[in-house]
Amino acid sequence: AKKEGKGKYVFYKNDFLKANIKTVNMANRLKNALDSEHLTLYYQPQVNFITGEIIGVEALVRWIDPERGFVPPIEFIPLAEETGQIYKVERWIFKTALEQKQKWEQNGLKHIKVAINLSSKTLTSDVNFRKLESLLEAYNVDYSTIVLEITETAIITDIHSAIRRLEILTKKGINIALDDFGTGYSSLSYLRNVPLNVIKLDRSFINSIQENGRELLIIKAILSLCKDLNYEVVAEGIETKEQLQFLQKQQCTIGQGYLFSKPIPIEILEPQLKSLTIK
């Protein structure tokens, strides 16, 4: 038994070491990716179901590693948050998205909203929040068409600081979206003092629409509450016509998902945006 225990310990220890080596390797590669511009932004269109028009885009970061290929953001964003690299990565994301937004505004696409994900780390760090604030100031963009997507985690870590920082942004006219709504624990009433403009209905809700009646009732209730509280609702992860029809029936009019488009690189997105302005 002792031997077995010892063996197990060795196993766990090696596992632990392996995990650390993996983290350090990944962190180093991410640093290189930033330096050598292996990061890029994809954009997923947000569509008005009634007019069929693209009203905005969500910027989603992509890491294309020359050796390993595509590294999904769910793998490296949490890691970057752990190592503190997120601040630099995020400033790169904001810089890139805001430069793009500025170009669109100069080229007749002023109305296209740009949604950017804001890490919960930034909302809880004074220094880094201020750096981001000055980055936002550095670009000449219409703030009313900028949306920052935050998660519940960012708010509940320190609700008073979060509210204070979000108010700085909303006073400039920037919109705040609550991302992944429905996956966390807070109710909208708990969040009533948080300055929010948009609620993003999580994909898991949209997914479960046909499955059972309870989910359906919950979505209906959320949509009606959002309407009463004057939040815009964006439905995420719409994949089927049935899901779209259901949302339309519930008077939900804006959403994104593979049914319309996957996140796409700028070269593919731009012609689509331009064809819409002509229309």
Query: CA 170 to CA 195: how far, in whole Å?
Result: 7
User: Should residue 152 be labelled a site residue for Ca ion when binding is judged by CB under 5 A?
Assistant: no
* Residue 197, φ and ψ in degrees, nearest 5: -115, -30
Contact 276, 46 (CB under 8 A): no
Regarding 263 and contact with ligand C2E (CB under 6 A), the answer is yes
**195 lines the binding site for ligand C2E (CB under 6 A):** no
Residues forming a β-bridge with 116:
59, 148
Stretch that binds ligand C2E, among 189-197, 222-230, 247-255, 257-265 (CB under 6 A): 257-265
Backbone angles phi, psi at 161, to 5 degrees: -65, -40
In sequence order, what are the beta bridge partners of 269?
none
Distance CA 16, CA 9 (A): 10
> Any contact of residue 90 with Ca ion (CB under 5 A)?
no
With binding defined as CB under 6 A, does residue 234 bind ligand C2E?
no
Compare residues 184 and 277 and give the one whose CB is closer to ligand C2E: 184
179 is a contact residue toward Ca ion (CB under 5 A): yes
Cβ closer to ligand C2E: 177 or 273?
177
Interface of this chain with ligand C2E, residues 67 to 96, rule: CB under 6 A: 72-74, 77, 93
User: Minimal distance in Å, beta carbon 74 to ligand C2E?
Assistant: 5
Give least dist CB 145 to Ca ion, A.
17
Q: Which stretch binds Ca ion (CB under 5 A): 7-15, 47-55, 146-154, 269-277?
A: 146-154
Site membership for ligand C2E, residue 258 (CB under 6 A): yes
Residue found under tokens 């008077």: 251
The single residue among 39, 43, 44, 147 that binds ligand C2E, judged by CB under 6 A, is 44
**Tokens read off for 81:** 């948050």
Q: What is the dihedral of CA 152, 157, 159, 161, to 10 degrees?
A: -120
Number of residues that bind ligand C2E (CB under 6 A): 21
Minimum CB separation of residue 17 from Ca ion in Å reads 31
Mark 191-220 with x for binding to Ca ion (rule: CB under 5 A) and - for no binding. Answer: ------------------------------
The option from Ca ion, ligand C2E, none interacting with 77 (CB < 5 to 8 A, set by class) reads ligand C2E
How is 49-113 classified by DSSP, letter by letter?
TTT--EEEEEEEEEEEETTTEEE-HHHHHHHHHHHTTHHHHHHHHHHHHHHHHHHHHHTT-TT-E
Of 46, 85, 96, 117, which lies in the binding site for Ca ion, with binding defined by CB under 5 A?
117
Alpha carbon dihedral 87, 89, 92, 98, in 10-degree steps, equals -70
Q: What's phi and psi for 135, nearest 5 deg?
A: -65, -45
Dist. CA 278–CA 275, nearest whole Å: 5
b/e map of 146-166 (b: 16 or more CB within 10 Å)?
A: bbbbbbbebbbeeeeebeebb
Indicate which of Ca ion, ligand C2E, none lies near residue 16 (CB less than 5 to 8 Å, by partner kind). Answer: none
Q: Binding residues for ligand C2E, per CB under 6 A?
A: 44, 59-61, 72-74, 77, 93, 117, 119, 179-180, 203, 237-239, 256-258, 263
Q: Binding residues for Ca ion, per CB under 5 A?
A: 117, 149, 179-180, 236
